[in-house]
Amino acid sequence: MTHPLHTLLAQHGQDHRSPNRLIERFPRIAGRLVDLWGSEAMGAYLESLMIMDRPDRQGFPPEIGMELMIFGNAHDDILNQPAPSAGVWDHVRESAVDALEKLGLRPTVGDFHRSVSQATPETLQLYLDAGMKVDHADENGWTALMRASFDGSMGSAQWLLRHGADIHLRDRGGYTPLHWAALNGYESVVEMLIGAGAGVNAGSNSGFTALIQAASRGHLAIVKRLIAAGAMVDASTPEGWTALHKAVANRHTDVAVRLLDHGANPEARHQDGSTPYTIAAQSGQQRLCELMLLTQSVRLRDRH
């Protein structure tokens, strides 16, 4: 499989300057170069790799150092290329449309979003070359990044972010890409979105946060990650639903215990009067009820 770094260089006729040995022997560094592609931070990162002024680094073999230098020059050359004329862009667009048609695809929002789940980076690039905007939304306000997050398409989500996808956009329901990844349990996508700056406490139009959604489905690992990233444990919808309500109602005991450990309130009241405790009691979750009572007792004692 062609490495994304090679693909990026090839798009500008610079594939002969691809750092093949680096890609093979230092894949994590190659991945970081992909993440920094097109940014001003690339130069500083390459310089830090080549200077090796930290005592915990042993330095690269000469052939790897040479590849880094050649790659850095190629990246600079690409960034400094003059913008193509309108005529050139017309040719690029027409070629991309033709290439999509040969694949049985059209440069439409629907086809672009459907392709996110299974297309190669090369195919996704064709859509952009054909004039598609990376954040072009469908009639429901969904962007390609939302679709990738909903489907757990990690590779496509990474590609979209590298090409400028807005992580903070919301669909018509007010949901962000993080909401959808959390709801469907895609831990790696959640991790990536948080790392890219997604707002962990963003609420939908109905007030649902990513934590409430993850708790409702029992995704313990995602609940842990969201809390670690600063998610408010007792954030509630206007009606009063909290993550603990949802975890208890759906019998996700492990999630409920984790939320209690982080201070969730078992007496938080929904507008119909129900609390996590009453829901547990009415559904026969006796041990969870006992844990909630013990938790409240300990908290009361600690206050005094």
Confidence band of 59 (pLDDT split at 50, 70, 90): low
Considering Cα of 122, then 125, then 127, then 130, what sign does the dihedral take? Answer: negative
Comparing 8-22, 125-139, 166-180, 285-299, the range with the smallest average pLDDT is 8-22
pLDDT at 134: 92
The structural domains of the chain, with segments of one domain joined by +, span 4-79
- CA-closest candidate to residue 134, choices 152, 158, 114, 161: 161
Number of Cβ within a 10 Å radius of residue 94:
12
Mean pLDDT over 39-54 rounds to: 70
pLDDT in tens, 175-185: 999 999 999 99
pLDDT band at 86 (very low <50, low <70, confident <90, very high): low
Checking if the pLDDT of 83 tops 60, the result is no
Given a contact cutoff of 8 angstroms between Cβ atoms, the answer to whether 226 and 200 are in contact is yes
Average pLDDT, the chain: 88
Q: Output the pLDDT for position 245.
A: 96
Farthest-apart Cα atoms in the chain, separation: 76
pLDDT of residue 239: 94
Q: If pLDDT is split at 50, 70 and 90, which confidence band does 55 have?
A: very low
Q: What is the pLDDT of residue 76?
A: 80
Residues 97/130, Cβ–Cβ less than 8 Å: yes
